[in-house]
Structure 1
Amino acid sequence: MSFNEPNRLDNEQYCMPRHVAIIMDGNGRWAKNQGKMRISGHKAGVKSVRRAVSFAIHHKLEALTLYAFSSENWSRPIQEVTALMELFAWALDREIKSLNKHNICLRVIGDTGRFNNYIQDRIRIAEEITQQNNGLTLNIAANYGGRWDIIQGTKKLAEQVKEGLLRPDQITEASLASYLCMQELAPVDLVIRTGGEHRISNFLLWQIAYAEFWFTDILWPDFDQHVFESALHAFSLRERRYGGISLNIHD
């Protein structure tokens, strides 16, 4: 992974998000437009991941979360799923040294127990190698679903109640959040979705409660620093009210 520094945003003019999450959509359509097999689009998408990580590093984001494989993606044709698993394992092996070199802490969020033993080992090794890094936190959502996340957190709370360590009336948003993925990180500020769709697709349902959304028709393999910069610029123009009222006296 090569992290050549992109043109830097003027941080004095931009309100920068701390945590950006991206739904990487459009690999298959990109490949079709190129007259290629779908896996070619996924391979091209890996290059866009590198560009996005590079951008996040050089603009000092705290966390970047990428939706790589949803819990619903298992329903795709077996040939595509198999190719995706092979690509995932290959990327973990190939990129880990560079991630570690650039002080990136890699985490894979999701129900990883469904992956084969080889991929689970690659995930464990990659996370162990980078766990002490304190630069960008790169979260890869793999076999992840927002509903699964909330259910698995709820089950852990139920165990606390069953063991008599917690009363039902003591359950709060904070107590549930403590059992969800990425609970130790800053909340997601900005969600970007490529590929022209305008839906969440079961992604981080809890964590994006007050996030800003930015959609683009750009297919993921064509996502570059200029598109990322456009998203951050749009974010900087938003007034985040968190359920309150506008501070603009003219509203």
Structure 2
Amino acid sequence: MRSIWLGSALIVFATVARAQSILEPFGNEVVTPGAGWLGFTDWAFVTSAFLTLSLASILGAVVAYHPRHGQTADSIEEIEAPKVYIIYSAIGALIGIIVVKYGLAVGFVLFGIGGLIRVRTILQSATMTGRLIFVTLIGLSCGLEMPHVAVLATVFVFILIFILDSRVTYRINIQALPKKRVAEAAAAYRTILERHGCFILSEKKYPSKERVTFIFRCGRATSLVDLEESLETGLDQSLQGALDWEVD
């Protein structure tokens, strides 16, 4: 028994010593101060960073908007997933820019921040989590005396969110439809949605449950109030059902 305990202790000590030897170079790494406000004069770096963020977002979009994705997505979360991929791709690029500038020691700080966000912060969607990580990195850039990176990242993510959220995604369950006229009611609701300039992403009919589900996108100019009013008043009374909305 004593030999087992002795062997276990040697393994533990060897593991700890190995971990310390791996982490020691990072602990001794000297973090140089940032360029401060003079960083705005370094146009070569600012241009390179902007192109890096743009390239990461474009490549993320190539993967996110794979043709197969639109064919298999059948929920609002899956349909909105490409936005998350693009935001996280840009986040990865921003982390890379900071790490290249300051070294791997900053990487451990970023992992610590990520763990804190994951454990202590509860958000409604992955998109909101991505934005939270982005603003955290912007604050970190300010603290590392890289205001030019912080401003660049802020402008970039502002434009990115403006593009990604230019159209709102809705999910609507229409229940209590006339059992023998579900298809007819679905066609009538679809006509009203298309009349408002909405693009139907998914349509599912459940005749046995007297229900139909639409997932669609509309421009910002189309308000939810106007859309709901049209669906409730612009339809034959005999085809109407109860509306249950979900907005992303």
Pair in the same fold by TM > 0.5: no
The higher radius of gyration belongs to: 2
Greater fraction of residues in helix: 2
TM range (shorter): under 0.3
Instruction: Give the alignment's TM-score, normalised by structure 1.
Output: 0.23
Report 1 or 2 for greater relative contact order, CA contacts < 8 Å, sequence distance ≥ 6. Answer: 1
